[in-house]
Structure 1
Amino acid sequence: MRYKRPAVTAPAFKARSFAELKSLRHALQQAAAREAERQRLLREQLQREQARRQLFAHAVGPVVPLKGLAPRHTPAPQPPEPLPLQRQKDEQQALRESLSDAFDVATLLDVDDQMSFRRPGIGLDVTRKLRAGHWSIQRQLDLHGLRVHEAREALGSFIRLSHRTGLRCVRVVHGKGLGSPGLEPVLKGRVLSWLVQKKEVLAFVQARPAEGGAGALVVLLQPSVRRP
């Protein structure tokens, strides 16, 4: 015969007086109120958490994608422009080739009390004004201490840059040769030859004593053509 375990039932509470019943009702009401308050706080916490997560959506409202638009394209950054190294080499090579040391300049110079040069078509009044300081000297190049090939490149670059920047009158100091072997001016004759070969040069004269005298030249350049 199988043994049957007796069912366990909760003990019944039996109020022994009206006061005890009233006290029990009050305790149950307080417990219910505390549970209601706990549920309210829990709901508020859940609402705050949900609002925090959907803050952006609440701020901008519903988003509707536009129709008929191609996907946004972000262009790749432009690479930096390459340095014109080959062009610089070509210019230097052209500069070396254009200024020849074998160029005979003697027949092109006006030899008088002060040596000068003026390109064909330029009147004597230009060299006269150049000697008188009609054009103010805007820049100077000093070739003291340079070797021949260094002086040639420095002079070519100086004349080209001065012309490009719109300068009209510059001074080139080549020295009087007092520090050269035999006290002969090594650079003076070469500078005269190089300047005659530069198409930017209109004329040049020996500088006045206060501006260098026989150790310098005042050079007048062609007007530069400003591109719009």
Structure 2
Amino acid sequence: MKEPHDDDAALFRSAIGPVRKLPERAAPPAAPKPKPRARMAERDEANAREEFRHPLAAQLLEAEDPLAYRGPDVTSAAWQRLRHGEISAQEELDLHGADARTAEALLRAFLGDAVRHGLGCVRIIHGKGGRGRNEIGSSGAPILKNLVDRMLRQRASVVAFHSPPPAQGGAGAVLVLLKPPGRR
């Protein structure tokens, strides 16, 4: 018995008539391969940035918590002067109203400029959070304050920082000691 597809094939050949083969031609050039990318490195970098922005909840500072970090090379006398606001800031950065991405970029640029200009102490005003929308994260902690804390701890040029006395900004600001120009 003939299969139904055999009849279809014969019907098709009779409908199209004789077939002639096309002359052989060289294949068109292949599309250029994309340049290699370090996708794993890009993914790792993106993950690190994301982790940096979202610390563990146990590490979050509250609005009234002071920012404080003392590097191993800071003397007790210098630490006490910083804590009491006795070291004057040579420049100041006010991050009020900035979103986290903008604040991060501004802080990086500000610290880079301070180091390039040989400054010893700067003040960063981050606020306590809570007055504007986007100032408090889903955990209830101030976003900019925690961002500033994490960024300062990771900068090699920062040797110490502490929230100043209330008259100089209190828990809404931080005084930052930078490495002396000769030791950078």
Compute the TM-score of the two structures, normalised by the length of structure 1: 0.48
In structure 2, distance between residues paired with 1:195 and 1:185: 16
- 1:32-111 matched pairs, under 5 angstroms: 100-102=52-54
1:158 counterpart residue number: 110
2:97 counterpart residue number: 145
- 1:1-228 matched pairs, under 5 angstroms: 100-102=52-54, 114-181=66-133, 184-225=141-182
Q: Which amino acid in structure 1 is aligned with residue 115 of structure 2?
A: H
In structure 1, distance between residues paired with 2:76 and 2:68: 10
Structure having greater relative contact order (Cα 8 Å, sep ≥ 6): 2
The unaligned stretches of length 5 or more in structure 1 are: 1-92
Larger Rg over CA atoms? 1
Offset from partner CA, 1:58-83 (integer Å, 9 cap, x none)? xxxxxxxxxxxxxxxxxxxxxxxxxx
In structure 1, distance between residues paired with 2:70 and 2:171: 18
Give the CA RMSD over aligned residues.
3.2
Contact 1:180–1:186, Cα closer than 8 Å, also in 2: no
Q: Structure 1 or 2: larger helix share?
A: 1
DSSP 3-state at the match of 1:225: helix
Change (3 A) 1:102 1:224: farther
Q: Which amino acid in structure 1 is aligned with residue 89 of structure 2?
A: I
The number of residues matched between the two structures is 128
Q: Shift in Å at residue 138 of structure 1?
A: 0.6
Compute the TM-score of the two structures, normalised by the length of structure 2: 0.59
Contact 1:101–1:194, Cα closer than 8 Å, also in 2: no
